[in-house]
Structure 1
Amino acid sequence: MNGGGKVVCVTGASGYIASWIVKLLLLRGYTVKGTVRDPEDQKKTGHLLALDGAKERLKLFKANLLDEGSFEQAIDGCDAVIHPASPVSLTVADPQAELIKPAVMGTINILKTCTKVSTVKRVIITSSMATILFPKSPIKPNDFVDETTFSDPSVCEEEKQWYILSKTLAEDAAWQFAKANNIDLIVMNPGLVIGPILQPTLNFSVDVIVDFINGKNLFNRRYHRLVDVRDVALAHVKALETPSANGRYIIDAPIVTTNDIEKVLREFFPDLCIAEENEDIDIISMTYNVSVEKVKNLGIEFTPTETSLRDTVLSLKEKCLV
C-alpha cells in the first residue's frame, strides 16, 4: 500500500485512462478526489463507484475545464493532481471552442488552482504522442524521436490537425506556467491507447478497434502503434511515486501492421476482412524509431499488443459494444 494517507485529485475521472488511474490509486491505498461534469449522472460514475476501495476512499466533485475556480474544492488538501481530462475528437465544427480552449484553459485553470494549494507537491498531465510527432521538419521513416522532440503549432495548423494543435498548445502552456510558478510538473505522452474499458461507453481510441472489427481502417495506415491503457495508467502512478521522476515520458509501442491486428481480431470474428490502406494519405510515417527507456526506468513493462487487442475485444463483448 504505497498511498496510505495520501490524497490525489484526478480530473475527468470517468474517462478511459482516468478511470484506470483511479482504479490503480484506490488499489494502492490512496484517497482519490475525482472531478466529473455531473456527479449525479449514474451512467458516467457508476463504474467508478463500483471500484474496490471506492466506498471508503473515492469522492467525486463537479468541475468544468472552462470554469475558473471550479477545481478548487477537489484540489484542496491534495498531495498531487493528475490531469487526464481533455476533449478528444478528430471532426469538429469549431476547433477553437470544442478543442483548443478547453484543452489550454482547462490545463491552466488546474495549474492556477495548484499554485493556491500549498499541499500539492506534484502535477502530472496526460498529453499525447501528438505533441511530439509534428515538428517543424516532418518526421521521415526511420527518424528517431524522443522526449526532446516537440510538435510545431504552425505545422498542426497548416495540416488542420486541430486535436493535435489543442494538445500541443496545452502542453506548451503547461510547461511555461509550471516554469514561471515553480510547479513540479510531469507530462505523459502516450500513443494511441487501447485495452479493456472500465466505463460503459466507447471512447475515441477504442472506437478505432471497433472500426477494425467493422472492416474499416480509420487512419488508412499500414503501420500502427497501440499502447495498453493499463501501462499508461501505471506510468502515471509510478511518476507520482518516484521522487526523481521529471519532464516528459513517451509511452509508445512497437509497430504492428494492419495484418497483425486483423490476425488477432480474426480469433473473435473469423470472417473479418479489414480494408486495405492507401499509404499516400498518411500525414505521418509510423515507422519512426522511438526511445521508451525513460518510462521503462519508472518500472513499466509493456503489455504485448496482441494481449491488449484481445483484452480490448473481450471487454467490448462483455459490455455489449460489439
Structure 2
Amino acid sequence: MAAVSSGLVVLTGATGFVGFKTLIFSLKAGYSVRIVVRSDSKGHGVLEASSIKAMNLGSERLSYFVVPDIIAPRAYDDAVKGATYVIHCASPIPSFGDAPPTAELYDKFFVQTARKATIGLLESIRRASTVKRVVITSSIAGNIPLKYFVGQGDDKVFDAESRTTLDPGPYDIEFQAYSASKVAALNASESWMEENNPSFDLISILPGWVFGRDELCTTAADLKTGSTNSVLLGLLKGSQSDDPLMGNTSFVDDVAQVHIGALDPKIEGNQAFILSSDGINGAKWEDAIKVVKQYFPQALVDGRLKSTGKQPTAVVRVDAGKTEKTFGIRLRSFEEQVKSLAGQYLELTGY
C-alpha cells in the first residue's frame, strides 16, 4: 500500500489488537508514527515485536510517547505536537480492584472514561493546530441499540449513518457498559466537532466483532484472553452458550486497512464507515465449526479444537456497502477470519 500523504501519524492503542495491526499498516504505507502508550515497558514491547524489528526502522519513523493517565487534564497535549494525523484506537481498560463491579464502577470505568479520553484528545489536537484529520475507532455497538445484539431487535437495516441514544444505565453487565461507552464516545465526539468547528475533520470507524491473527499474542494462552478473539476461540474450544450474540464480524486486516485508507485526503471528512462481513445478515457463529472441520480436521481428532461448541446468532442487519465502495475493498469473510485465528492458535500449540 502506498502512502497517500506524508506526515506524522500519532496513534493511540498500539498495544492492542486493532491498534497494533493499524500500526503495521501505517508503517508499510510509509508514514512516520508516534505511538502513545501508558508506560515505557509497553512502548518497548511494541518496538520489540518481530514484525516491527524486521522493518529495521529508525526513531524518525517510529517512536513512542508515554501518557500514563489518558483522562488527566491536557493528557495528550505533548503527545500530539507536530502531528499531521491522529488515529485513536485506545479503549478504556477497566480497573475494578478487589471490589466486584457495580453499576457505578461500570459507568466510571467504561462510559465516563471513554467520553473524557475522547474529548480530551480532541481538545489537545485543537491546541496542537497541525492536525488535518482524526480517525477514531468506534464500534457498531456505538450506533446500534443494544437490544439488537442480544436478539431482541427487528429486521431494520443499519449503516454508518445510523445513530442511537445513550443507555443511561444502571449497567448490570460488562457488555452493556461497553456498548454504552461506544455510544457515549461516538455521540460526544460528533457533537464536539459540530460545536467547535475545528480546523481538522473526523472519521469514525465502526467494526463489528474483530477476529484474526494477533501478533502480540505469543502463546496459546494469550489468545484466550484480552481481545475479541477469545470469544471465537472459546466456541472453537467447545464452549456452550444459550445467549445469542450478533453475527457481525470483521477481519482485523480490513479494519486496519480502512483506518489507514481514511487518511487519504480524497476521502471526505466528518463521516463514518461501518465494517460487517458476509452481507447484510452477517455471519452465523456456529459456521466456525464447519470451517474447522474443512480446514483443520486433525485438530478435531487430537482434541485441540472441538465440534461441540454452541453459540446462537442474533441477526443484526448491517449494510457495509459504503465502506467497500469508498475503499475499493471486499470485506473478508467470517470463514477467512476463523481460518486466520484457528491457524495461529494451532501454530502456537504445535500444529
TM-score interval, normalised by the smaller of the two chains: 0.7 to 0.9
Q: How many residues align?
A: 315
Per the alignment, residue 162 of structure 2 pairs with 149
Q: 1:3: how far off?
A: 5.3
Measure the CA separation in 2 of the matches of 1:275 and 1:113: 46
Superposed CA RMSD in Å reads 2.8
Per the alignment, residue 310 of structure 2 pairs with 276
Q: 1:67: how far off?
A: 2.0
Q: 1:5: how far off?
A: 3.7
Is 1:292 the equivalent of 2:303? no
Is 1:133 the equivalent of 2:138? no
Instruction: Give the alignment partner of residue 80 of structure 2, picking from 75, 94, 116.
Output: 75
Select between 103-112 and 219-228 the one with higher mean Cα deviation: 219-228
Instruction: Give the alignment partner of residue 165 of structure 1, picking from 180, 188, 212.
Output: 180
AA aligned to 1:151 is T
AA aligned to 1:205 is T
Structure 1 unmatched runs, 5+: 280-284
Q: 1:264: how far off?
A: 1.4
Give 1:1-322 correspondences, 5 Å limit.
1-2=2-3, 5-41=6-42, 42-43=44-45, 45-47=47-49, 49-50=52-53, 52=55, 54-56=57-59, 57-63=61-67, 64-87=69-92, 92-93=101-102, 94-134=105-145, 140-154=153-167, 157=170, 161-183=176-198, 184-200=201-217, 201-202=222-223, 203-217=226-240, 220-221=243-244, 224-246=247-269, 247-254=271-278, 255-266=282-293, 267-268=295-296, 269-271=299-301, 272-277=306-311, 286-296=314-324, 297-320=326-349
Which structure 1 residue ranges, 4+ long, deviate > 6 Å from structure 2? 135-139
Q: Given the superposition, is the C-alpha separation of residues 179 and 140 from structure 1 closer, same or farther in structure 2, using an over 3 Å criterion?
A: same
Task: Say whether the 8 Å CA contact 1:115–1:181 is kept in structure 2.
Answer: no
Measure the CA separation in 2 of the matches of 1:126 and 1:17: 9
Q: 3-state SS of the aligned residue for 1:208? A: helix
Measure the CA separation in 2 of the matches of 1:80 and 1:303: 27
Measure the CA separation in 2 of the matches of 1:38 and 1:7: 21
Select between 146-155 and 105-114 the one with higher mean Cα deviation: 146-155
Task: Say whether the 8 Å CA contact 1:26–1:32 is kept in structure 2.
Answer: yes
Per the alignment, residue 282 of structure 1 pairs with none
Select between 200-209 and 151-160 the one with higher mean Cα deviation: 151-160
Task: Say whether the 8 Å CA contact 2:246–2:316 is kept in structure 1.
Answer: no
Q: Deviations over 1:122-155 (max 9, x none)?
A: 1111000001220799973432111232232137
Q: 1:156: how far off?
A: 6.3
Structure 2 unmatched runs, 5+: 95-99
Measure the CA separation in 1 of the matches of 2:350 and 2:203: 34
AA aligned to 2:184 is L
Instruction: Report the TM-score, using the length of structure 2 for normalisation.
Output: 0.80
Q: 3-state SS of the aligned residue for 2:65? A: strand
Q: Given the superposition, is the C-alpha separation of residues 316 and 50 from structure 1 closer, same or farther in structure 2, using an over 3 Å criterion?
A: farther
AA aligned to 1:22 is L
Q: 1:157: how far off?
A: 5.0
Q: Deviations over 1:192-243 (max 9, x none)?
A: 0001112134432111122112211568337622210100111111111143
User: What's the % identity of the aligned pairs?
Assistant: 24
Measure the CA separation in 2 of the matches of 1:248 and 1:208: 26
Q: 1:252: how far off?
A: 1.0
